[in-house]
Structure 1
Amino acid sequence: MPEVIFNGPAGRIEGRFQPAKVRNAPIALILHPHPQFGGTMNNQIAYQLYYMFAKRGFAVLRFNFRGVGRSQGAFDHGAGELSDAASALDWVQTIHPDARSCWIAGFSFGAWIGMQLLMRRPEIEGFISIAPPANLNDFSFLAPCPSSGLIIHGDIDKVVPIKDVQTLVDKLKTQKGIVIDQRIIEGANHFFEGKVDELLANCEQYVDMRLAANAESA
């Protein structure tokens, strides 16, 4: 798990990078929760997502947004963090220029940033949005959402009530050409306390399903 430092728009960005063993392996970018509420790339869920993709042969990067850990800069309410994520994806693509596709996985604040990046980068073919903060942030930019993905959340989330996520999912499901897979973890709060294994099992199953479908159509 090599530690990496690369240049971002606000200075150096600190990350952890797992290179792929084959040249055309896909890329996965992992985005951590809210920096002002203790979110870092070492968040348990971000850490587990990183290893989930690495085990499947992806080139994987997780990193600290500006102002977190050894990443330079200061919190920028999402605009700067989106630029950080774009720079992070650029950096991985310089290491793996032959990558055949890209995935993005974000938790809470990271899910909001990830879905904005999705709108800007057509090479992103799949996403995992964990507890997307649909009541706290504006998701109206998903018009239309360009890629299929998984939205997964807990049914006792007090930070982001289930009804707000449901409204977002219902809106996305009306779009043609993409498939939104929604999963609800029973008894899970916003941080999936005691439910991380179940959360990861759902994410693994979804990624494996998509990879198998891609292999069949190749």
Structure 2
Amino acid sequence: MTASPSRADEIRASSILPARREDVELHTADGLTLVGELALPAHRDPVATLVTLHPLPTHGGFMDSHVLKKASYRLPATADLAVLRFNLRGVTSPRGTSQGAFDGGVGERYDVAAAIELAEFHEDPPLPRRWLVGWSFGTDLTLMYGLDPSIEGAILLSPPLRYSRPEHLAAWADSGKPLLALVPEHDDYLRPDEARERFSVVPQARVVGVDGAKHLWVGEPYVRRVLDEIVAQVNPTALPLPTTWPAAEQRHEPSPTVRA
């Protein structure tokens, strides 16, 4: 008798798909220990790696900011990606509290370097083809401190261009490394037309305006659009991403109050 196929359920905002998940610690050059998590494909080595940098801590940003958390919950299974998330200095999440205190984008340079170093030298398994994925404040950190030889390129979600300066964009232009900016139509800080003008100094930058979206990317359609664009840049052979997954392989978490 042929076994009936397992039921597939829609991937929802609360879905957690199979992955190997390990708590990690990052050690900065100025002596701090930061806490994080590395999510890996469940049964194979990753084909590429996302090193994520979260939104502004003073406005609620942390390693569990929802788009980054959903990337870690889905992309190891659906796109064979490794996803590194961590709390910047002084930031708390259920994973724990990173040492230090918010430094307005100055001391955070060491946090970015520590994350890149962990990804570069992780051995079991190796973490190949490393990309930075910054969101809001995390995009400024990416532009200011992310031009490391071990980084292939960067993806910017809702870049405000608040802390970064023209010289940082000029350095990315000179590097030739890919730069993708996803800019919400109704962003609070930088909207698509202005973003295209300001990123025009980086010839290889691609600015994608997302109709209807806001700075926090609230709503499952916008989360899926972000994840689709990330995968299109990093591992396009995985597209289209599935919208369902075997029910027996999904876990779910309670829907939290939206925080950046």
TM-score range, shorter chain: 0.7 to 0.9
How far 1:135 moved relative to its partner? 4.7
Structure 1 gap segments, 5+ residues each: 174-178, 213-218
Larger-Rg structure: 2
Structure 2 gap segments, 5+ residues each: 1-20, 240-260
1:16, 1:61 within 8 Å by CA — same for their partners in 2? yes
How far 1:61 moved relative to its partner? 1.2
1:160, 1:190 within 8 Å by CA — same for their partners in 2? no
1:25, 1:58 within 8 Å by CA — same for their partners in 2? yes
Equivalent of 1:4 in 8, 18, 24? 24
Aligned-pair RMSD on alpha carbons?
2.5
Aligned residues: 205
Q: Which has the higher contact order (CA 8 A, sep 6+)?
A: 2
Equivalent of 2:83 in 41, 54, 60? 60
Q: Determine whether 1:157 maps to 2:178.
A: no
2:62, 2:91 within 8 Å by CA — same for their partners in 1? yes
How far 1:84 moved relative to its partner? 0.5
State how far apart, in whole Å, the 1-side matches of 2:89 and 2:73 are.
Answer: 23
Q: Determine whether 1:106 maps to 2:134.
A: yes
How far 1:90 moved relative to its partner? 1.0
Q: Determine whether 1:29 maps to 2:55.
A: no
How far 1:201 moved relative to its partner? 2.4
Structure 2 counterpart of 1:138: 165
Identical-pair percentage: 26
Q: Determine whether 1:115 maps to 2:115.
A: no
Structure 1 residues 210, 25: CA separation in 2 closer, same or farther (over 3 Å shift)?
closer
What per-residue deviation string (whole Å, max 9, x for no partner) do you get for residues 30-57 of structure 1?
Answer: 1100011000000001112334542333
Structure 1 residues 100, 203: CA separation in 2 closer, same or farther (over 3 Å shift)?
closer
TM-score, with length taken from structure 1: 0.82
How far 1:152 moved relative to its partner? 0.6
Which stretch has the larger CA shift, 45-54 or 69-78? 45-54
Structure 1 residues 181, 53: CA separation in 2 closer, same or farther (over 3 Å shift)?
farther
